[in-house]
């Protein structure tokens, strides 16, 4: 499962896991959700069906894996949506601060992005001092009307990705 969102009520909680939109990739975890009723909706349309699932976000990484003190780090993520991508943004904070900063991730061959138009969005974090922990999420908004937004990792899981400097 690419872009899987983690533990759900379908993990032994009585719910079934249902495909949100059969026209989209079945290997994208963000295209699956727990059913509304326990046991799912066999023989009926899926209870979680939606015509616009929102952007799929997967293969998130940063390079270098352990940046040295003062060394920039490039954050990358694969992002796709059949309606097109309006924007991809890195939402980050310097732990333990709760103040969120933003950085536009690009797929235009600039700002740390290697190849324009390949579906891999990138942005460069400034170098930070040794021991700094950067916690982040990625928000993608599609070009549908109305637009749909997805955030990775799922905020409901209260999880963030991390970059530690100077280790």
If we measure between CA atoms, which residue out of 143, 65, 139 comes closest to residue 105?
139
Q: Given this model, what pLDDT does residue 156 score?
A: 73
Question: Taking the model in full, what pTM does it have?
Answer: 0.85
- 148: Cβ–Cβ under 8 A, 6 or more apart, which residues? 52, 53, 54, 55, 81, 83, 141, 142
DSSP one-letter code for 97: -
Given a contact cutoff of 8 angstroms between Cβ atoms, the answer to whether 123 and 90 are in contact is yes
DSSP characters for 115-158? STTSSEEEEEEPP--TT-EEEEEEEEEESSSS--EEEES-GGGT
Helix (H) or strand (E) holding 80: strand 73-80
Q: Given this model, what pLDDT does residue 25 score?
A: 78
Count CB neighbours of 50 within 10 A: 13
Count CB neighbours of 165 within 10 A: 21
Q: What phi and psi values does residue 156 have, to the nearest 5 degrees?
A: -60, -25
Q: Which stretches in the chain have pLDDT values below 50?
A: 1
If we measure between CA atoms, which residue out of 33, 34, 90, 16 comes closest to residue 57?
90
Q: Given this model, what pLDDT does residue 10 score?
A: 65
Q: Given this model, what pLDDT does residue 61 score?
A: 96
Peptide bond before residue 148 is cis, with ω within 30 degrees of 0: no
Separation of alpha carbons 132 and 96, rounded Å: 9
């Amino acid at each position: 499962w690419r872009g899987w969102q983690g533990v759900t009520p379908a993990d032994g909680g009585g719910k079934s896991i249902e495909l949100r939109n059969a026209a989209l990739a079945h290997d994208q975890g963000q295209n699956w959700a727990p059913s509304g009723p326990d046991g799912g909706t066999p023989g009926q349309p899926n209870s979680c069906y939606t015509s616009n699932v929102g952007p799929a976000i997967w293969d998130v990484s940063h390079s270098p894996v352990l940046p040295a003190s003062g060394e920039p780090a490039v954050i990358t993520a694969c992002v796709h949506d059949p309606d097109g991508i309006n924007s991809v943004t890195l939402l980050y904070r310097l732990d333990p601060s709760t103040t969120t900063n933003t950085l536009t991730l690009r797929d235009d061959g600039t700002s740390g992005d290697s190849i324009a138009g390949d579906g891999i969005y990138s942005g460069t974090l400034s170098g930070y001092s040794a021991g700094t922990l950067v916690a982040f999420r990625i928000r993608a908004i599609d070009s549908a009307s109305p637009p749909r937004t997805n955030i990775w990792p799922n905020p409901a899981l209260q999880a963030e990705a991390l970059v530690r400097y100077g280790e």
